[in-house]
Amino acid sequence: MFALYVGLAVAILLIVLNIVLSKLSFVPKEARILSIIVVLVGYIYWGFEPFAHHEMHPHVEDASYAFDGKQDIEALEHAGKDATEAKAFWATIAKIAEHKGNAVAGKELVAANCTACHSMTSEGFPQLMSDADAAASYGVTPPDLSIAGRVYDRNYLIAFISNPVKAMHIEHKYPVGGDKVFPMPSSDFMQPQEIADMVAYLSDAASKVSAPKVKEGATEFEISKAVNKEVFETACVRCHAMNYAGIQAKTTAEAMSKYIGATPPDLSQYIRSRGDDYLHNFINDPQRKLAGTGMPRVGLNEKAESQVVEYMTQIGDSKKDEREALGPKVLIYLTILAIFALLWKQKIWRDLH
C-alpha cells in the first residue's frame, strides 16, 4: 500500500514542482531547468535504488553479539511457536556462564573429550587424519581448536558444547528424532563447572597463539590480511572456498551436501554481491536473514566477525584502498578543469551578449 502512495506522490510532485518553478521568474532560467532536472533524476534514483532495496529486502534486527538466545526466543514467539524449550536451554546456558572456569582443569577435559576428533596444533594435539578422510568419517572436517577461544563468543561456546545443533540454530536440518545425527555429540550431560573449565582453557590456549608469520618487510595491508586470514580459515574455510585467495574448502562438496543439504558457495565476491551490512547480519545469525538456509550460526564475537568481513574485502575488493586514495585526486583535478572551462566559456561569450 505504501508503494501506491509513493506512486501517486510522484505524479503530484512532478506537476507541482513544474508549476512552482515556472513561476519563479527571479531565478535565472538555467538554474530553474537544472533544479528541475536534479530533482527528477534524484527522485528516479531514489525510486530504483534505496526505495526498491527497502521494498525487496525487508529490514531485520541488527546483529547481536550477546548470544543469550533472546533473539531466538523472540523469533519463535513472533512466529507463534512454542518457545519453552528454547527458554529452558538458554536459561541453562546463562547458569553455566556464571561459573568461573579453570583452564588447568579444562585442559584435561578437552584432551579427554575433544582431541580424538579435533586437532589443536598450538597445544600439541595434531590432526590425525587428512581433511578428506576426516570429512568422510565424521561427515564434516572438524575444526582445529587453537584459536577457537579467541574467535567464538564465550556464551556461544558454552551453548555449543552443550548442544551444537541448538547453538548453531540448525534444528531444521537436524530435527530431534530425525534420522540424521549431527557429527558432534551434545555434552549437556557434563557438569556446568566442567563446561566452563573447557571454555576457559580454550580461551587461555588461544591467547597464547602468536600472530601469524608474515614475510620480512610486509606492508600493513599484508600483515592485517594475514591476521584476518587466520580467523577466516578457522571460522569459514571448513565449508567455504575463497578461490581468489587460492583457498579451497576443507570439507569436500559431496560431504557438505550430506552434512547440510547444500554446497556452500565460493566467497570470493561476496563482499560485492552481498555487501558489508548484509554479511554482518547474516554471519551473526543466518536464519534471520535467510530462513531455512543450511548455514549454521558460527558464533563469532564482534571482533572476529569484523575480521572475517575485512578479509572478504581484502580479497574480493582488494583495490578498495587504491580507489579511495585516487578518488579525491581525480575529483580535485576535474574541479580545477571545470573552473578553467567556465572561465574560457565566459571569455568567449562576453562578445555574444
Partner 1 sequence: MAEFEKANSIGEWFDQRLNVKAFTKVMMTEYWIPKEINFLWAMGALLVMLFKLLIITGIFLLMYYKPDVNMAFDSVNYTIMQEVGYGWLFRNIHGVGASVVFLIIYIHMFTAIYYGSYKKGREMIWLSGMLLFVLFSAEGFSGYMLPWGQMSYWAAYVITEIFGGIPFIGGDLVIWIRGNFYVADATLTRFFMLHVLLIPVVLIGAIAFHFYTLRFPHVNNEEGEFFDYKKESEKYLAGDKANSKVIAFWPDFLSKDFMVIAIFMVFFFYLVFYNNGFAMDPVNFDKADGMKTPAHIYPEWYFLWSYEVLRGFFFEIGGVSGKDLGLMAFGFAQGIFLVLPWLDRSPMVKPANQRPVFKYWFWLLMADLFVLTIFGKLPPTGINAYVGFFASTTFLGLFISLPFLTTIESKIVGGK
Residue closer to partner 1 (CB basis): 189 or 349: 349
**What would the DSSP string read from start to end of 101-167?**
P-HHHHHHHHHHHTTTT--BGGGTB---S-HHHHHHHHSSPPPP-TTHHHHB-HHHHHHHHH-HHHH
In the three-class reduction of DSSP (H, G, I as helix; E, B as strand; rest coil), residue 42 is classed as: helix
Looking at the Cβ atoms of 223 and 338, the one nearer to partner 1 is: 338
* Residue with smaller CB distance to partner 1, 112 or 348: 348
286 and 260 Cβ atoms separated by less than 8 Å: no
Smallest separation (angstroms) from partner 1 to the CB of 19 = 9
Strand partners, 50: none
The residue behind cell 513561476 is 23
**In this structure, what C-alpha cell is assigned to residue 285?**
545469525
Closest separation in Å from C-beta 317 to partner 1 = 8
The answer to whether residue 138 forms part of the interface with partner 1 (CB under 8 A) is no
Nearer to partner 1, 47 or 178 (CB): 47
Nearer to partner 1, 79 or 352 (CB): 352
Query: In the complex, what is the shortest distance from the CB of residue 20 to partner 1, in angstroms, rounded to a whole number?
Result: 12
Amino acid type, 208: K
Stretch 13-52: interaction string toward partner 1, x if CB under 8 A: -xx--x---x------xx--xx--x--xx-xxx-xxx-xx
- CB 272 → partner 1: shortest distance, Å? 4
CB closer to partner 1, 228 vs 301: 228
Judged by CB under 8 A, how many residues of this single chain contact partner 1? 61
Our finding on whether 353 is near partner 1 (CB under 8 A) is: yes
Q: Which range, of 178-186, 230-238, 296-304, 325-333, touches partner 1 by CB under 8 A?
A: 325-333
Here's the x/- map for partner 1, 49-88, by CB under 8 A: it reads as x-xx--xx--------------------------------
**CA dist 202 → 69, 145, 153, 271 (Å):** 22, 7, 11, 30
334 binds partner 1 (CB under 8 A): yes
Q: Which amino acid is at 228?
A: N
Q: Does 1 bind partner 1 (CB under 8 A)?
A: yes
Question: How far is it, in rounded angstroms, from Cα 212 to Cα 307?
Answer: 14
DSSP helix/strand/coil, 242: strand
Q: Which member of 111, 129, 224, 244 binds partner 1 (CB under 8 A)? A: 244
Look up residue 260 and give its three cell numbers. 547440510
Q: Which of the residues 261 through 320 are near partner 1 (CB under 8 A)? A: 265, 268-270, 272-275, 318-319
Rounded-to-integer distance, Cα 271 and Cα 310, Å: 9
Taking the CA atoms of residue 159, residue 140, residue 305 and residue 272 in that order, the dihedral angle to the nearest 10 degrees is -140
What is the dihedral angle through the alpha carbons of 214, 217, 222, 223, rounded to the nearest 10 degrees? Answer: 60
- Output the nine-digit C-alpha cell for 156: 556461544
Where does this chain bind partner 1 (CB under 8 A)? 1, 3-4, 6-7, 10-11, 14-15, 18, 22, 29-30, 33-34, 37, 40-41, 43-45, 47-49, 51-52, 55-56, 243-244, 265, 268-270, 272-275, 318-319, 322-324, 326-327, 330-331, 334-335, 337-338, 340-342, 344-345, 348-349, 351-353
